[in-house]
Structure 1
Amino acid sequence: MTRVLHVITGWDRGGAERQLLLLVRHLPVHCDIAVLTGTGDLTPAARAAGIDVHHIGMRGNSDPRAVPRLARLMRRGAYDVVHTHLYRACVHGRLAARIAGIRRVIATEHSLGDGHIEGRRTSTPVRLLYRATERLGETTIAVSPTVARRLRGWGVPASRLLTLPNGIDAAAFRFDPRHRAATRACLGIGPDEFVVGSVGRLVDTKRLDVLIRSLPHDERGRLLIVGAGPARATLERLAASLGATHRVIFTGDRADVPALLSAMDLYAAPSSQETFGLSVLEALASGLPVLYSVCPALTDLPPDAAPQAQRLPPHEPDWRAAIEQAARRPAARLRPPPAVAHYAITRQIEPLVRLYQHGPAAIGASVPSSVSPA
């Protein structure tokens, strides 16, 4: 059986990390995971699924021990493929794979924004280091055409790029009225209160300040913000300054995202930048109406792929009006739209296995509808 080592920067409950965990649960190859930094909230879930997780213990971006430790792990594990995820893992993982003599090295770029990558500014040194180590691999996968365009702008040749969208396990996010009632009771939300929600890392580009300012002024509705990040304190101060502390609930990182989505009546994503928009798809899988500003996963599809998703400019008056309208007429739970089936995680499996076993030429020879050369 093909042996694959996935290398990722951290192992907390971020979008790329959850996507990797979902992927390795479905891949019909032997998968292990190497985590550069920290121990990670997802380690117990991975090990419960029979996946070995190796912690490299990297301290700082220039820790000289990280690459040798990775190389030793790769040799010891006799891996056929190294698959890296996120910037630091791509840089260090490709170097380690070259030292270990592993020829099939694949990277997935999850988080390349416009002017930033994983929270750091995309300075000239960052781009040069990325491009230099990218050449040590065989293929770089972009999770959306948007990311592929940005990589080409960085100088990565189109011939080395493949677009393979993120995937979703729709059944895991199916609406459950029992979870709705229990989650609301746990959070102190009444059964008939209107709840707007958002899930993701709390950073400035998510524009969650727009949601806090857009809550109806007449005390109708609550705002449920799920996730952690450096912007939390600023957002809490904003809620306090508007007298809305009791109406805005910060849950922090949570493992029960499907239950939290079941507790919501409207999903809102006013981000100024996204590389894919996985949380929007999860909300659609839960049957929620959605408001969003940027979501490449939807803009890459025809409008009728998600009719219950409304795109808004990231301006507070537009968001306030849309939320107030939704609060006046809460929608019944909806059927997940075609976009959810389009991004089913199972559609990633066959092209990835071919890539692992036969290289990029096998993908180019037979490109399914969900995969394309960038």
Structure 2
Amino acid sequence: MKALHIITGLGVGGAEQQLRLLLRHLPVDCDVVTLTNPGTVAEGLTADGVRVMHIGMDGNRDLSALPRLARVIRAGRYDLVHTHLYRACVYGRPAARLAGVRAVVATEHSLGDSQMEGRRLTPGVRALYLASERLGSSTVAVSATVADRLKRWGVPAPRIEVVPNGIDVDRFRFDPERRERTRRRLGLPEGAYVIGGVGRLTRGKRFDVLVHALTRLPDDHWLLLVGGGPDEPILRRTAHEAGVAHRVLFTGERPYVPDGSPGPDLPSLTSAMDLLASPSMEESFGLAAVEALASGLPVLYASCPAIEDLPPSAAADARRVRGGSEAYARAIAEVRAAGPRPRTAPEVTHHYSITRSAARLMDVYAAALSSSSSSLSPLGASPS
């Protein structure tokens, strides 16, 4: 089987890094097309031996990208096209059908209740998404919560498949030597209690809540923010104005998988933490929380479908927190007062292993490829 993955961009982000990790475990010959921004993850994919092509799309309304994309698909003679993220889905599905591809699968990574990838869910956004969705074989939701949102949007339930995001469980396993090495590298004082926050530094992630929570906690509490984004200057200013800038560390973007870049990778940074806090109110999965659990960390979260979709006892070290900085400060203090716990991963993290997710996706591919030729005929062609 030969497959083409189409994604909106390849800068460091959850969906982008999830794609790279997935391609390491899919038993399929895969190429990747990025519509825009062939960034750090593109470099990592290339290092992995994956062919990456850049369409050079100029904005959301660059309709010339559609025939360019169709030509790439036609030239590659792909059996299946798999699209990721809103713009790639809207352009990739019709381009695949124009090229006469056999099967089209799309993964919905980031559909929230009020936004998708930072864009408001207007009637126009929904209409365009649903129009392109009908051109595909199936839509993959990364959680049952996202599947329910898709159904409410109008995507027929039989066309929705749930394939959770996956993690490399072994790479996140706690290593005390890695913890000490990473903490020294970060310049953390001995005995510091480190609260971690992982994700894009954007307003929706609400990391300012953790900065303000730090002001209500003893001086040996530190905040480690892992990620990059447009709100980094704002968060730095917030920490300075709150008088806690000396206890807030920014690592910048960190890879989920090794890529040879300087600085510790994400598993090393989770080893250095004592707790992970995720105050984001609207998540489609909650990958950082699952990775933290795999590292044996207690987790405080505002929204995490990956945990909420499981039985209550499945992730005993995860706790939902409602409220702002005061609520998070109180919850952090309670976790610390309970004392240190063994840094072992709960069994539930294996439910989200990348090998399991890849195997489930292969089932989706097989079903798409076995669909009738009439349902997958190119646009404008008569059913055979």
Q: In which range does the TM-score fall when normalised by the shorter chain?
A: over 0.9
**Aligned residues of 1:289 and 1:334 also touching (Cα < 8 A):** no
From 292, 295, 313, give the equivalent of 1:286: 295
From 267, 285, 299, give the equivalent of 1:258: 267
**Aligned residues of 1:210 and 1:314 also touching (Cα < 8 A):** no
Give the C-alpha shift of residue 329 in structure 1: 5.2
Report the equivalent of 1:231. Answer: 231
Report the equivalent of 1:106. Answer: 105
| Mapped partners of 2:231, 2:63: distance in 1 | 31
**Aligned residues of 1:281 and 1:339 also touching (Cα < 8 A):** no
| Mapped partners of 1:18, 1:108: distance in 2 | 14
Following superposition of structure 1 onto structure 2, how do residues 304-319 of structure 1 map, counting pairs within 5 Å?
A: 304-319=313-328
> Which structure 2 segments of 5+ residues have no match?
256-264, 372-384
| Mapped partners of 1:232, 1:114: distance in 2 | 25
**Aligned residues of 2:174 and 2:344 also touching (Cα < 8 A):** no
Task: For residue 26 of structure 1, give the secondary structure of its aligned residue in structure 2.
Answer: coil
1:228-265 CA-partner distances (Å, limit 9, x unpaired): 12222222221111101111111111121111111111
1:282-319 CA-partner distances (Å, limit 9, x unpaired): 00111111111111011111122111111111333221
Which shows bigger deviation, 180-189 or 55-64? 180-189
Following superposition of structure 1 onto structure 2, how do residues 261-340 of structure 1 map, counting pairs within 5 Å?
A: 261-328=270-337, 330-340=339-349
Give the C-alpha shift of residue 82 in structure 1: 0.2
Which shows bigger deviation, 53-62 or 172-181? 172-181
| Mapped partners of 1:101, 1:360: distance in 2 | 13
Which shows bigger deviation, 89-98 or 309-318? 309-318
1:128-180 CA-partner distances (Å, limit 9, x unpaired): 11111111111001111111121122211112111111111101111222322
Q: Which amino acid aligns with 2:253?
A: D
| Mapped partners of 1:47, 1:26: distance in 2 | 16
Task: For residue 69 of structure 2, give the secondary structure of its aligned residue in structure 1.
Answer: helix
Give the C-alpha shift of residue 320 in structure 1: 0.9
Report the equivalent of 1:211. Answer: 210
Following superposition of structure 1 onto structure 2, how do residues 28-47 of structure 1 map, counting pairs within 5 Å?
A: 28-47=27-46
Task: For residue 252 of structure 1, give the secondary structure of its aligned residue in structure 2.
Answer: coil
Report the equivalent of 1:126. Answer: 125
| Mapped partners of 1:351, 1:243: distance in 2 | 48
1:42-71 CA-partner distances (Å, limit 9, x unpaired): 123212222111111111111133212211
Structure 2 CA distance for partners of 1:330 and 1:190, relative to 1, 3 Å: farther
| Mapped partners of 2:45, 2:130: distance in 1 | 31
| Mapped partners of 1:217, 1:302: distance in 2 | 32
Which shows bigger deviation, 27-36 or 159-168? 159-168
Which shows bigger deviation, 104-113 or 228-237? 228-237
| Mapped partners of 2:38, 2:252: distance in 1 | 18
Task: For residue 161 of structure 2, give the secondary structure of its aligned residue in structure 1.
Answer: strand
Report the equivalent of 2:141. Answer: 142
Report the equivalent of 1:155. Answer: 154
| Mapped partners of 2:356, 2:370: distance in 1 | 19
Q: Which amino acid aligns with 1:221?
A: H
Structure 2 CA distance for partners of 1:155 and 1:178, relative to 1, 3 Å: same
**Aligned residues of 1:265 and 1:330 also touching (Cα < 8 A):** no
Aligned residue pairs, count: 361
1:340-367 CA-partner distances (Å, limit 9, x unpaired): 01111122233322322332879xxxxx
1:88-113 CA-partner distances (Å, limit 9, x unpaired): 00001012101111130000000011
TM-score, normalised by the number of residues in structure 1: 0.92
> Which structure 1 segments of 5+ residues have no match?
363-374
Q: Which amino acid aligns with 1:339?
A: V
Which shows bigger deviation, 343-352 or 97-106? 343-352
TM-score, normalised by the number of residues in structure 2: 0.90
Report the equivalent of 1:372. Answer: none
1:314-340 CA-partner distances (Å, limit 9, x unpaired): 333221112123344552442101220
Structure 2 CA distance for partners of 1:59 and 1:333, relative to 1, 3 Å: farther
Q: Which amino acid aligns with 2:251?
A: T
Report the equivalent of 1:70. Answer: 69
| Mapped partners of 1:229, 1:22: distance in 2 | 21
Q: Which amino acid aligns with 1:254?
A: R
Task: For residue 127 of structure 1, give the secondary structure of its aligned residue in structure 2.
Answer: helix
| Mapped partners of 2:226, 2:47: distance in 1 | 24
